[in-house]
Amino acid sequence: MIVARRKPFDEIKGSVSGAEQVLILGCGTCVAVCLAGGEKEVAILASQLKMALRLENQNVRIDELTIERQCDREFIEEINTRVTVDDYDLILSMACGAGVQLLSDVFDHKVVLPALNTTFIGVAEGPGVWTERCRACSNCILGVTGGICPITMCAKGLVNGPCGGAINGKCELDYNRACAWAMIYERLQKLGKMENVRKIQPPRRHDLATSPALVIHKAYQ
Amino acid sequence: MILDSEKFVVTAEIEPPKGTDVTGLLASANALKGKVKAVLIPDNARGVMRMSPLVVCKLVKDEGVEVIMTVACRDRNRLALQSDLLGAAALGINSILCVTGDHTMHGDHKEAKPVFDVDSVQLLQMAATLNSGKDMNGNELSGAPEFFLASTVNPFASPVELQTIKFEKKVEAGARVFFTQPLFDLERFAGFMEHARKYPVKVLPEICILTSTDVARYQDHKLPGFFIPEDIFRRIREAGENDLNEGISIAAELIKEIKRSKLADGVHLMPGREKGAILEVLERAGA
């Protein structure tokens, strides 16, 4: 899933400055799971903003709404069945960057601002802990590396083995973190597949991952 | 080629200047002239921005000192790397050290984009392909370089097998000389050399003139790739203000032993806190 973090409060408060009617729009999927932009986080931000702006004698109406997904037109289109978007000076989106953009596309006459910084594609490790696992590089080599991605898990994205800075299986950037290649080694040993990494991996194909990427399912081409 | 010597090879590193003043650089190069086989010019080592190694190599070479140019993967993509390599060949710089490069997070421009478009193994392949008269995508070159390729190996990191696999990949990709991470533990190094001797490559372990500052940085995990054994660590600590002198002694002892036991094909000296330290080490080691 997409993992995001809320922007610093002062930055959010500064971005809504001058507006009289603000809609804080949450997203009920990834960012709700990672406790950054779901219904609860919308309510917390709304309360914080109301208090802070009141203390500054700013009279701002702040409404809250959370939809299932902001990265899907179907769900964005139902917003107007629940509130009137034109009542607001701006929409503060608590979705990931993709959601903010689709929202801006659909309501292109409205100012849509991000309240989150989108951080990575990752997994839930346990309560409140998420780790990055995928860089969406469009040429997956997880089959070779025992299900551990060196593009993501190695700070240098090295595909031919560890750098010289790793000491005792720890990453040179953070000695509390395992070196991706030490993890790959352990996994491949367990699987009896060390031969997977004895062959030189060719340079990555960045032509397969140019921005902006596009996928059209063959049934819809 | 300069590193292809049968004799015990001594090389030393000179750091490119941070700025346009090359007086110190040329003085260091001239001081080492005749004392070392070649000087190695690093490429924004530890991610700290300095003058381009391509330019520094040309300046040092013009002083009559042989050079080895480092090319790191951290700052340039495959186009820029190949461009610079062709440029180096045109300037007569033919000894190339291919490394991954320290991460930008260790340097003085932490906000920079770390490139790592290719890794050190792929960089070696790229340079070897240029030697064959083609660029890495198979396009014909008008005029081909004659690079002699070097790389690095860390004999002190674990898991050892992974380092060994990478070493073998580098040999396959065309590396003929290997520089190592700083050597302090001869026994561990000997274990690696037993394996390395099976390949047609030369190994030049790095000899570092330790000071108390290094020891403190090592304790803070700020010296990636370093592995300092307890006894050497203690010698520097106990030397107090004489730490530099002790560091020079340790370096000289290591070189003497490597030379005596023919453990390696030579040594590579890192500059210490004081510029003259390398010369002092060489004198004490009789190298």
Set out the domains of chain A in order of their start, with CATH numbers: 2-120 (3.40.50.2300), 136-205 (no CATH)
Residues of chain A positioned with their CB less than 8 A from the CB of B122: 160, 200-203
In chain A, which residue's Cα lies nearest the Cα of B167?
A161
Quickly count: other Cβ atoms within 10 Å of residue B256's Cβ: 14
Quickly count: other Cβ atoms within 10 Å of residue B140's Cβ: 8
Average the pLDDT over B77-98 and give the result.
98
What are the b/e assignments for A107-125, b being 16+ CB within 10 Å? beebebbbbbebebbbeee
pLDDT in tens, B22-76: 999 999 999 999 999 999 999 999 999 999 999 999 999 999 999 999 999 999 9
Which residues, in sequence order, are CB contacts of B191 under 8 Å at separation 6+?
B155
Confidence band (pLDDT; 50, 70, 90) for B2? Answer: low
How far is it, in rounded angstroms, from Cα B42 to Cα B69?
7
Q: Which of A155, A172, A200 is opposite residue B169, by nearest beta carbon? A: A200
pLDDT of residue B157: 83
Residues of chain B positioned with their CB less than 8 A from the CB of A204: 117
pLDDT in tens, A27-42: 999 999 999 999 999 9
Confidence band (pLDDT; 50, 70, 90) for B256? Answer: very high
B114/A contact by beta carbon, under 8 A: yes
pLDDT of residue B1: 59
Is the pLDDT assigned to residue B225 strictly greater than 80?
Answer: no
Dihedral sign from CA coordinates of B93, B95, B100, B104: negative
Q: Provide CATH code, domain B9-208.
A: 3.20.20.220
A172/B contact by beta carbon, under 8 A: yes
> Minimal CA–CA distance to B36: which of B58, B68, B62, B59?
B68
> Minimal CA–CA distance to B210: which of B256, B181, B239, B243?
B243
Quickly count: other Cβ atoms within 10 Å of residue B220's Cβ: 8
Q: Which of B122, B159, B165 is opposite residue A203, by nearest beta carbon? A: B122
| Residue whose token pair is 């509390």 | A176
- Strand residues in B24-85 grouped as ranges (E): 38-41, 67-72
Residues facing B245 on adjacent strands: none
Residues of chain B positioned with their CB less than 8 A from the CB of A169: 158-159
ipTM of the complex: 0.91
pLDDT in tens, B100-124: 999 999 899 999 999 999 999 999 9
What is the domain partition of chain B in residue ranges?
Answer: 9-208
A167/B contact by beta carbon, under 8 A: yes
Query: Is B105's CB within 8 Å of A155's CB?
Result: yes
Residues of chain B positioned with their CB less than 8 A from the CB of A202: 122
Is the pLDDT assigned to residue B247 strictly greater than 90?
Answer: yes
Alpha helices in A28-96 (DSSP H): 30-33, 39-55, 73-76, 79-82
